[in-house]
């Protein structure tokens, strides 16, 4: 078995672990800092909306030796508006000009044809009206709102309202970071971006629901034992799925990174950037929020319940009694009713990090070989 596989098995069994829930204030602070940066970037720079949202025209040229800069200047001079040009893989150009009327589009098409020394009908022109872009934006917002409502309702029914609230906060966290990154890097927002955003929301929920399902099973009858608090059980559930979360995230990020850095960056297929950046940032943020935001938030909300507070007091009291007996040299082999039911003995630290299992020390030392004493009846 590989090292990662061995580590995953030990995490699942509770033999090792990291105190994610106990250090939740650190993760909250990091997330707040990243979110504020994203909001500031969005407020200062704003989003670079594509023509699908604000209207304009897209001109696709045939194969040409004219540079992208020359085509951009030609389009700007003819239209009177700023233009962006993308060089495609087959040496064709994609010229995009925002907020053009039909007459301005025709003038720009003729100017590009003259510059490239081709006939006007060789320049493919697509005109998008601003009203169509408004419809797309409204439908995107409607779809996002419906998705959020359905997710909250489902999680509240399948689990509980605290988990639904934590998952919703994690989703808003992922969306804010992704949109803020778009504003900071200046990538164009297109319908492909909206598709990418909706895709990452579902992926972000995947890891969260897996952890919540394990936590729900572990927390059954939690108030009948005095070995773990709710936060410690949440941390054990999180550690149990940690390696799987890392593996699935890395596998999902590799092809998306290929689209973003190789397809969009090296090969110059700029049209891939709109969806690949949303997927890349969203997948990474979704994995982060599932581990560092959603589960610690659930633990915070649950620990406010009176019965969970009472459980924490009982757990701490039992550990204090065990420590006192250990200091006085007395036998520390505590056994509660929950241990008598066949569960493993208490060997967890307060942070939920579990060490190696202890061997039972109550066996007779005089019968080490397991053989009969040899005495005759």
Instruction: Give the chain's end-to-end CA distance (angstroms, integer).
Output: 52
Tell me what the mean pLDDT of segment 327-337 comes to: 56
Question: In the prediction, which pLDDT does 10 show?
Answer: 65
User: Pairing mode, if any, of strands 93-98 and 56-60?
Assistant: antiparallel
Tell me what the mean pLDDT of segment 38-65 comes to: 84
Question: In the prediction, which pLDDT does 82 show?
Answer: 80
Question: In the prediction, which pLDDT does 206 show?
Answer: 81
Question: In the prediction, which pLDDT does 60 show?
Answer: 86
Helices (H), the chain: 3-13, 24-45, 51-54, 68-79, 102-116, 130-158, 161-185, 191-218, 230-240, 242-257, 273-289, 295-302, 306-328, 337-340
Question: What is the rounded CA–CA span in Å between residue 198 and residue 140?
Answer: 9
pLDDT in tens, 207-223: 788 888 888 888 888 88
Considering only 88-92, 231-235, 274-278, which range has the smallest mean pLDDT?
A: 88-92
Q: Is the dihedral of CA 210, 213, 218, 223 positive or negative?
A: positive
Residue 5's pLDDT band (boundaries 50, 70, 90)?
low
Question: What is the rounded CA–CA span in Å between residue 303 and residue 306?
Answer: 8
pLDDT in tens, 73-126: 888 888 888 888 877 766 788 888 887 777 888 888 888 888 888 888 888 888
pLDDT in tens, 166-175: 999 998 898 8
Considering only 14-18, 119-123, 309-313, 343-347, which range has the smallest mean pLDDT?
A: 343-347
Structural domains in the chain, sorted by start? 3-49+132-302 (1.20.1640.10), 56-128 (3.30.70.3400)
Q: Give me the residues paired with residue 126 across strands.
A: 58
264 in helix, strand or coil? helix
| Percent above pLDDT 90 for the chain | 8
Question: What is the rounded CA–CA span in Å between residue 229 and residue 342?
Answer: 19
* Cβ-proximal residues to 281 (8 Å cutoff; 6+ apart), any chain: 177, 178, 181
181 in helix, strand or coil? helix
Question: What is the rounded CA–CA span in Å between residue 329 and residue 62?
Answer: 88
Question: What is the rounded CA–CA span in Å between residue 119 and residue 131?
Answer: 31
- Count of other CB atoms within 10 angstroms of residue 106: 16
Nearest Cα to Cα of residue 240 among 353, 372, 123, 121: 353
Residue 360's pLDDT band (boundaries 50, 70, 90)?
very low
Question: In the prediction, which pLDDT does 336 show?
Answer: 46
Question: What is the rounded CA–CA span in Å between residue 292 and residue 289?
Answer: 5
2 in helix, strand or coil? coil
- Count of other CB atoms within 10 angstroms of residue 365: 6
């Amino acid at each position: 078995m590989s090292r990662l596989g061995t580590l995953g098995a030990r995490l699942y069994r509770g033999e090792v672990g990291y105190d994610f829930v106990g250090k939740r204030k650190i993760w909250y602070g990091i997330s707040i800092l990243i979110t504020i940066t994203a909001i500031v970037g969005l407020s200062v720079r704003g989003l670079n909306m594509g023509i699908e949202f604000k209207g304009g025209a897209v001109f696709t040229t045939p194969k040409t030796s004219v540079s992208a800069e020359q085509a951009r200047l030609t389009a700007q001079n003819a239209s009177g508006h700023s233009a962006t040009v993308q060089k495609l893989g087959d040496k064709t150009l994609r010229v995009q000009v925002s907020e053009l009327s039909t007459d301005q589009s025709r003038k720009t098409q003729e100017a590009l044809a003259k510059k490239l020394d081709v006939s006007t009908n060789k320049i493919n022109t697509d005109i998008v009206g601003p009203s169509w872009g408004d419809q797309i934006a409204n439908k995107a917002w409607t779809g996002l709102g419906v998705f959020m409502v359905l997710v909250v309702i489902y999680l509240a029914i399948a689990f509980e309202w605290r988990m639904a609230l934590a998952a919703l906060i994690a989703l808003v966290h992922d969306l804010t970071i992704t949109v803020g990154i778009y504003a900071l890097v200046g990538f164009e927002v297109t319908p492909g971006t909206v598709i990418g955003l909706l895709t990452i929301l579902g992926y972000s929920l995947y890891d969260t629901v897996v952890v919540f399902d394990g936590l729900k099973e572990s927390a059954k009858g939690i108030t009948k034992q005095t070995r773990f608090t709710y936060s410690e059980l949440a941390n054990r559930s999180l550690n149990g799925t940690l390696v799987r979360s890392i593996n699935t995230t890395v596998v999902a990020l590799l092809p998306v990174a290929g689209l973003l850095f190789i397809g969009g960056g090296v090969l110059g297929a700029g049209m891939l950037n709109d969806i690949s950046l949303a997927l890349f940032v969203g997948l990474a943020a979704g994995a982060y929020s599932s581990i560092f935001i959603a589960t610690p938030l659930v633990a915070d909300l649950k620990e406010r319940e009176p019965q969970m507070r009472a459980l924490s007091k009982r757990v701490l009291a039992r550990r204090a009694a065990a420590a006192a007996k250990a200091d006085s040299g007395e036998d520390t082999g505590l056994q509660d009713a929950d241990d008598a039911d066949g569960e493993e003995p208490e060997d967890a630290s307060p942070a939920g990090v579990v060490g190696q299992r202890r061997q039972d020390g109550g066996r007779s030392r005089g019968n080490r070989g397991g053989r009969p004493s040899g005495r005759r009846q």
